[in-house]
Amino acid sequence: MESLTHIGEAWVQAWNSHNLDEIMSHYDDDIIFYSPLIKKINNDPTGRIQGKEQLRAYFNRGLEAYPDLHFELYHILEGVNSIVLYYKSINDKLSAELMVINEKGLVIEVRAHYK
Helix (H, G, I), strand (E, B) or coil at 34: strand
How many angstroms separate the CA atoms of 1 and 55, rounded? 29
Give the pTM.
Answer: 0.92
According to the model, what pLDDT value does residue 30 have?
Answer: 98
CATH number of 5-114: 3.10.450.50
Per-residue pLDDT at 18 exceeds 50: yes
Cα distance between the two ends of the chain? 31
- What band does 70 get if pLDDT is binned at 50, 70 and 90? very high
According to the model, what pLDDT value does residue 2 have?
Answer: 63
Q: Strands of 27-104 (E only): list them.
A: 27-34, 48-50, 72-78, 82-88, 94-101
